[in-house]
Amino acid sequence: MLKVYHLEGGNFSEAGSASSDIKKLLKRLGLQSKIIKKVAVAMYEAEINVVAHAYSGDINVVVAKDHIKILVSDKGPGIPDVDKAMTEGFSTASEKVREMGFGAGMGLPNIKKNVDDLNIKTEVGKGTELSMRIDFQH
Amino acid sequence: MRISEIIEKLSLKLHTSINDDMEIERGYVSEMLSDVMANCPDESLLVTILSHENVIAVCILKDIKFIILANSRKPNDEMLKKALDEDIVIATAEKNAFQISQSLLELNVR
Ligand SMILES: Nc1ncnc2c1ncn2[C@@H]1O[C@H](COP(=O)(O)OP(=O)(O)OP(=O)(O)O)[C@@H](O)[C@H]1O
Ligand SMILES: [Mg+2]
């Protein structure tokens, strides 16, 4: 199964709708709630990062028999230092974004904790591509 | 403790209806949504001053059904609309988050 979503930078009120759509889909498929939670957290954080830090983005979700793959690619500033960005507490979120409750610097670490495989490709000035896989069996 | 009992005991102002008056045993206080995503136990109530629709998106994903807004905060229109759509209860307290947590502890919500 393949699902595609589009994201606009700065559009916070729509952020989270792709992840909740996938959550509902996985629930219908009868997956364990523990797995659904992992997918929801990882996908939401990736979605919010595009909205908070990039200009626009696309999400492709592939649901296979034993895993889910989520690819989030954006046009945006890219991430100059990925190791630093992965550190809990590191954030470049603007004041406006912080007032909305984002910018704890926990999103990428949250993603890492919840997925079985994470790959970040990024180019400064162009954009970022985050691909993650979550296995259904553990 | 049921949502309706918590609302009564803490004298909260209710903004939505309560369609599913469920038992709540746990609570979490936070002003950072990725902290809620990471650390809030499932099916807790959430005490916060964040009063916009992003909170609802997080509550949907974490199965949070009850939000207590501290410091007399009111939900913005979009937050209220989404909460109604998703059957999430929102109520406002005059007290701050610390005081609300104390009262909740006395009600055995931890
Ligand atoms: N898609 C992206 N494009 C550009 N920069 C990004 C992107 N995603 C993350 N970053 C950079 O990495 C930093 C850390 O991201 P992370 O998600 O961990 O924290 P945050 O988004 O700042 O705060 P939080 O996720 O806790 O609300 C961001 O502040 C930003 O500088
Ligand atoms: Mg983030």
For residue A50, the ligand closest to its alpha carbon is 1
User: Under DSSP, is residue A83 helix (H, G, I), strand (E, B) or coil?
Assistant: helix
Q: What is the DSSP string of A56-124?
A: EEEEEEEE-SSEEEEEEEEES---S-HHHHTSTT-----HHHHHTT--SS-HHHHHHHH-SEEEEEEET
The tens digit of pLDDT for each residue in B47-102 reads 999 999 999 999 999 999 999 999 999 999 999 999 999 999 999 999 999 999 99
Residues of chain B contacting A, Cβ within 8 Å: 31-35, 37-38, 42, 48, 50, 52-55, 57-58, 60-62, 78
Q: How confident is the model at residue A125 (pLDDT cuts 50, 70, 90)?
A: very high
The tens digit of pLDDT for each residue in A61-108 reads 999 999 999 999 999 999 999 999 999 999 999 999 999 999 999 999
What value does the mean pLDDT of chain A take? Answer: 96
User: Under DSSP, is residue B66 helix (H, G, I), strand (E, B) or coil?
Assistant: strand
Task: Specify the pTM.
Answer: 0.94
Q: How confident is the model at residue B43 (pLDDT cuts 50, 70, 90)?
A: confident
For residue A109, the ligand closest to its alpha carbon is 1
Q: Which of B30, B31, B34 most suits a substitution to test ligand 1, by most atoms within 8 Å of the C-beta? A: B34
**CATH H superfamily, domain A2-135:** Histidine kinase-like ATPase, C-terminal domain (3.30.565.10)
Measured between CB atoms, which of A12, A40, A107 is closest to B54?
A12
The tens digit of pLDDT for each residue in A5-14 reads 999 999 998 8
Q: Which residue has the higher pLDDT, A129 or B42?
A: A129
Alpha-carbon gap, residue A117 to A87, rounded angstroms: 17
Count how many pairs of residues, chain A against chain B, have C-beta atoms within 8 Å: 69
- Give yes or no for residue A90 CB within 6 A of ligand 1: yes
CB atoms within 10 A of CB A87: 12
**CATH H superfamily, domain B3-106:** HprK N-terminal domain-like (3.40.1390.20)
